[in-house]
């Protein structure tokens, strides 16, 4: 990583920023080298920058995308902390799509903090060093006699002060510190505290602009009806009635675009407002040729997956001899776990504005990956991706869905055809029925147990249409990478075999918050509890024994931290005295490691008949250092809500190739009246910070299933437990 002084560069003027003051860029070596090799020095753009104005106003850019996870507060706060900036003087701007400038902007995998924490802090510390050097020059003293505090540099010899604004222009002439010293944990003023989101004032007054909110002169509005089945195509379309509707400009066919993130194909109406477009769309008579996936039925398919995992499948990993271990075992246990498709269903449906002109293309979109918009639109328009200018708006939730940009590519088609900026807002029905769904899945586990109740063998088969099928439709089962979570699980089992069962994709599969950790967490966490009941052991004891059996030095840390989180969760939830719970109540516990973070959860429920009431959830997280304690806590509260939705009720159902669920009445996400009490505890740690957006989901469903079993004796092995019949 390099930190560069950008104060004199011309691009600042081009970006309309005030000149003067101090501007620092952060860049990764490969980019700067490439730029200088090509002689593009004058065009060189840094990855991110800090701009301190002559009046002290400080602007920090966030290149990672914001969808509610709080990254556009957490990363700038890390810069501001090292900079010793006064947070009230800091404003934050979302960077446009430009990966040369900001580094990877593909915001997923709970990776932002893991990747950006140190570079952001070093940038802040470098700027602080330059401000101190400038002050030292003014006072003609050694820099060691100067300290920075809350937007001022202080001369320790006489307590004189100079503000950052006064120093900024002089600071810009100082050398950039090569290896700036970072603060110790005790010196942090923002990191690890609970700063409010920088944009919450705009949220509560309705001023924040989301993907659906972009307005501009000449804007036209679109509505779209998609091909209901993956791989289908348009057979016939009668546009005549729709074209008669007042305010309708065009009815446009959008063919399937051959890119994993491209449109599935559809017919759209462009009108002078969204309502007219939506109404006219109903007047378009469309016939689809549904193609080879037209008989896809997710209920039937799930049963097929069960067969595929209850029979020998393709061996992926083995250690020891699992067949021998099971045949020689004192006791054996087997179970099959399943789960349905899920739709991300963020509150903001897919929406963007695209304006394609002869020599430019501008996009305003809620997105998790502006770089993919550039690539896909570049491919569609046959232009250089760099020529696609992507303004990243706040996303009204995303959960993985807005990583894909089919909705943006469709808006580009419409804009190109009507030669105007077009805002395409998907209906809720389009959003629910044209997804990149979480995989439907089945897993089968068989275990051998010795006389002491120790697990000696573990056979684990999984079958689910993998995300890889989106990129290569010939992939007919989970590839090794998607199965490796089984062999890499930190349970220490001497004899283990993982197998991959056939699972051909009949719809588009995508990343959903926590991805495969949802069902791997469910199977591992539930089966451990089933083993404990089978062998009449305490689940926490059994889990600890399973971890202790792992002697692999590379997994020592995973074992230690998993057990650490589990112990605190057991303590918080009064696990030891769970027998004293009132009648009909039960406590369940699970721990799961995913996205480099450890989460243990204990769930307390009350079960009466079919009614499952979640009363309280204790969450214990070890994610290393916590950047923002409040939004970290919010991520866990959110994981509980999403975990309850997917554990109890939500499932996307396919029949005759198409999604049946239309809107929230058929996809009953959790509402406020079912919200349990949630207690969140972070393990105190100096380890490097890891992500939090996803890992809260892994342990929730198994902890809930285990609690329901404890309360009622009923074992749920299929997610969701209480599917709606639609």
- List interacting residues with other proteins (CB under 8 A): 67-70, 194, 196-197, 199-201, 203-210, 212-213, 215, 221, 246-247, 273-276, 278-279, 345-349, 394-399, 425, 427-428, 630-631, 634, 637-642, 663-665, 669-673, 675, 677-678
Q: What is the closest distance, in whole angstroms, from the C-beta atom of residue 226 to other proteins in the complex? A: 16
Cβ closest to other proteins, residue 251 vs residue 394: 394
Cβ closest to other proteins, residue 129 vs residue 421: 421
Cβ closest to other proteins, residue 115 vs residue 208: 208
Q: What is the closest distance, in whole angstroms, from the C-beta atom of residue 498 to other proteins in the complex? A: 33
CB 526 within 8 A of CB 545: no
Cβ closest to other proteins, residue 677 vs residue 722: 677
Cβ closest to other proteins, residue 310 vs residue 429: 429
Q: What is the closest distance, in whole angstroms, from the C-beta atom of residue 634 to other proteins in the complex? A: 6
Cβ closest to other proteins, residue 138 vs residue 208: 208
Cβ closest to other proteins, residue 176 vs residue 641: 641
CB 194 within 8 A of CB 628: yes
Q: What is the closest distance, in whole angstroms, from the C-beta atom of residue 215 to other proteins in the complex? A: 5
Q: What is the closest distance, in whole angstroms, from the C-beta atom of residue 642 to other proteins in the complex? A: 6
Question: C-alpha angle 686/687/693, rounded to 5°?
Answer: 115
- Cα separation, 387 vs 377, whole angstroms: 10
Cβ closest to other proteins, residue 673 vs residue 725: 673
Cβ closest to other proteins, residue 549 vs residue 676: 676
Q: Which of 176, 189, 216 lies closest to 86, judged by CA?
A: 189
Q: What is the closest distance, in whole angstroms, from the C-beta atom of residue 108 to other proteins in the complex? A: 15
CB atoms within 10 A of CB 247: 15
Structure tokens given for 291? 């193609």
Cβ closest to other proteins, residue 121 vs residue 220: 220
Cβ closest to other proteins, residue 1 vs residue 203: 203
CB 719 within 8 A of CB 338: yes
Maximum C-alpha span of the chain? 83
Q: What is the closest distance, in whole angstroms, from the C-beta atom of residue 679 to other proteins in the complex? A: 11
3-state class of 266 per DSSP? strand
Q: Are strands 266-271 and 233-238 parallel, antiparallel or unpaired?
A: unpaired
Give me the residue label for tokens 């997956």. 305
- Cα separation, 49 vs 44, whole angstroms: 13
- Cα separation, 201 vs 560, whole angstroms: 41
CA distances from 287 to 222, 236, 250 (A): 20, 5, 18
Q: What is the closest distance, in whole angstroms, from the C-beta atom of residue 669 to other proteins in the complex? A: 6
- Cα separation, 654 vs 296, whole angstroms: 7
Q: What is the closest distance, in whole angstroms, from the C-beta atom of residue 541 to other proteins in the complex? A: 32
Cβ closest to other proteins, residue 183 vs residue 193: 193
Structure tokens given for 514? 């926590």
Structure tokens given for 632? 């970290």
Cβ neighbours for 211, distance < 8 A, ≥ 6 positions apart: 348, 350, 351, 352, 364, 365, 366, 367, 393, 394, 395, 396, 402
- Cα separation, 263 vs 474, whole angstroms: 20
DSSP state of 402: G
- β-partners of residue 620 are 600, 681
Cβ closest to other proteins, residue 346 vs residue 466: 346
Structure tokens given for 379? 């491919």
First-to-last alpha carbon distance for the chain, in angstroms, is: 54
Helix or strand (DSSP H, E) at 557:
helix 556-572
3-state class of 281 per DSSP? helix
Phi then psi dihedrals of residue 700, to 5 deg: -65, -55
Q: What is the closest distance, in whole angstroms, from the C-beta atom of residue 344 to other proteins in the complex? A: 8
Q: What is the closest distance, in whole angstroms, from the C-beta atom of residue 240 to other proteins in the complex? A: 20
Cβ closest to other proteins, residue 301 vs residue 511: 511
- Cα separation, 263 vs 509, whole angstroms: 14
Cβ closest to other proteins, residue 46 vs residue 397: 397
Cis status of the peptide bond prior to 720, with omega within 30 of 0: yes
User: Inter-axis angle of helices 406-418 and 370-381, to 10 degrees?
Assistant: 40
Q: What is the closest distance, in whole angstroms, from the C-beta atom of residue 428 to other proteins in the complex? A: 4
**Exposed, middle or buried: residue 287 (CB in 10 Å: 0-12, 13-18, 19+)?**
exposed
- Cα separation, 462 vs 433, whole angstroms: 26
Cβ neighbours for 658, distance < 8 A, ≥ 6 positions apart: 228, 229, 290, 433
DSSP state of 405: -
Length of the chain: 726
Cβ closest to other proteins, residue 275 vs residue 471: 275
Q: What is the closest distance, in whole angstroms, from the C-beta atom of residue 196 to other proteins in the complex? A: 5
CB 519 within 8 A of CB 699: no
Q: What is the closest distance, in whole angstroms, from the C-beta atom of residue 70 to other proteins in the complex? A: 7
Q: What is the closest distance, in whole angstroms, from the C-beta atom of residue 285 to other proteins in the complex? A: 21
Cβ closest to other proteins, residue 167 vs residue 422: 422
Q: What is the closest distance, in whole angstroms, from the C-beta atom of residue 299 to other proteins in the complex? A: 25
Q: What is the closest distance, in whole angstroms, from the C-beta atom of residue 641 to other proteins in the complex? A: 3
Give me the residue label for tokens 């198994």. 702
Give me the residue label for tokens 């089919």. 406
Q: Are strands 22-27 and 48-52 parallel, antiparallel or unpaired?
A: antiparallel
Q: What is the closest distance, in whole angstroms, from the C-beta atom of residue 397 to other proteins in the complex? A: 5
Cβ closest to other proteins, residue 402 vs residue 497: 402
Q: What is the DSSP string of 81-96?
A: HHHT--GGGEEEEEPP
């Amino acid at each position: 990583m390099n930190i560069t002084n950008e104060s004199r560069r011309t691009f600042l003027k081009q970006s309309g920023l005030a000149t003067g003051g101090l501007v620092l860029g952060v860049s990764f070596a490969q980019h700067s080298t490439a730029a200088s090799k090509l002689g593009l020095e004058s065009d060189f753009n840094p990855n991110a920058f800090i701009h301190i104005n002559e009046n002290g106003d400080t602007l920090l850019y966030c290149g990672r995308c914001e969808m509610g996870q709080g990254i556009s507060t957490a990363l700038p706060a890390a810069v501001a902390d090292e900079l010793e900036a006064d947070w009230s003087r800091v404003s934050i701007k979302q960077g446009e799509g430009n990966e040369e400038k900001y580094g990877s902007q593909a915001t997923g995998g709970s990776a932002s903090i893991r990747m950006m924490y140190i570079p952001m802090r070093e940038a802040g510390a470098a700027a602080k060093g330059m401000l101190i050097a400038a002050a030292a020059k003014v006072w003609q003293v050694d820099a060691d006699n100067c300290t920075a505090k809350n937007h001022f540099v202080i001369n320790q010899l006489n307590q004189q002060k100079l503000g950052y604004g006064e120093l900024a222009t002089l600071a810009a002439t100082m050398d950039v510190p090569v290896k700036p010293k970072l603060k110790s944990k005790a010196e942090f003023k923002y990191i690890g505290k609970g700063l409010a989101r920088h944009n919450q004032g705009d949220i509560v007054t309705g001023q924040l602009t989301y993907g659906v909110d972009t307005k501009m002169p000449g804007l036209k509005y679109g509505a779209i009806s998609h091909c209901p089945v993956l791989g289908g195509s348009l057979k016939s379309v009668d546009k005549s009635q729709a074209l008669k509707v007042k305010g309708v400009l065009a009815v446009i066919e959008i063919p399937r675009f051959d890119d994993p993130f491209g449109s599935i194909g559809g017919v759209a109406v462009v009108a002078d407002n969204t309502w007219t477009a939506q109404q006219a769309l109903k007047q378009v008579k469309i016939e689809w040729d549904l193609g080879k996936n037209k008989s896809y039925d997710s209920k039937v398919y799930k049963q097929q997956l069960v067969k595929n995992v209850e029979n020998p499948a393709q061996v992926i990993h083995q250690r020891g001899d699992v067949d021998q271990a099971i045949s020689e075992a004192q006791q054996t246990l087997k179970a099959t776990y399943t789960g349905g498709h899920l739709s991300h269903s963020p509150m903001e449906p897919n929406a963007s504005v695209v304006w394609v002109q002869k020599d430019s293309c501008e996009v305003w979109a809620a997105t998790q990956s502006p770089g993919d918009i550039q690539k896909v639109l570049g491919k569609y328009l046959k232009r250089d991706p760099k020529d696609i200018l992507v303004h990243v708006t706040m996303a009204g939730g995303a959960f993985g869905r807005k990583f894909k940009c089919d909705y943006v590519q469709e808006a580009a088609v419409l804009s190109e055809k009507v030669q105007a900026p077009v805002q395409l807002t998907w209906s809720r029905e389009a959003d629910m029925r044209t997804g990149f769904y979480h995989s439907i899945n089945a897993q089968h586990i068989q275990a051998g147990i010795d006389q002491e109740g120790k697990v000696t063998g573990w056979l684990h088969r999984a079958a689910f249409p993998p995300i890889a099928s989106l990129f290569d439709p010939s992939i007919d089962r989970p590839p090794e990478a998607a199965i490796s979570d089984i062999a890499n699980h930190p349970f220490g089992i001497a004899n283990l075999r993982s197998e991959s069962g056939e699972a051909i994709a009949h719809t588009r599969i995508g990343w959903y918050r926590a991805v495969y950790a949802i069902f791997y967490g469910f199977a591992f966490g539930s089966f451990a509890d089933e083993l404990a009941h089978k062998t009449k052991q305490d689940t926490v004891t059994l889990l600890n024994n399973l971890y202790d059996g792992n002697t692999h030095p590379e997994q020592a840390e995973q074992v230690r931290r998993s057990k650490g989180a589990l112990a605190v969760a057991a303590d918080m939830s009064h696990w030891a005295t769970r027998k004293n719970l009132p009648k009909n109540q039960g406590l369940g516990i699970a721990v799961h490691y995913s996205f480099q973070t450890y989460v243990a959860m204990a769930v307390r429920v009350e079960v009466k008949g079919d009614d499952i009431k979640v009363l309280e959830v204790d969450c214990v997280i070890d994610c290393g250092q916590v950047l923002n304690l409040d939004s970290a806590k919010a991520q866990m509260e959110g994981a509980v809500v999403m975990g309850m939705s997917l554990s109890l009720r939500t499932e996307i159902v396919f029949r005759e190739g198409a999604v049946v669920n239309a809107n929230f009445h058929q996809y009953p996400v959790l509402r406020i009246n079912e919200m349990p009490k949630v207690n969140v505890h972070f393990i105190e740690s100096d380890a490097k910070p890891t992500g939090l957006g996803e890992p809260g989901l892994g342990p929730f469903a198994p902890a809930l299933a285990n609690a329901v079993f404890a309360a009622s004796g009923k074992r749920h092995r299929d997610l969701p437990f209480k599917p709606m019949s639609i």
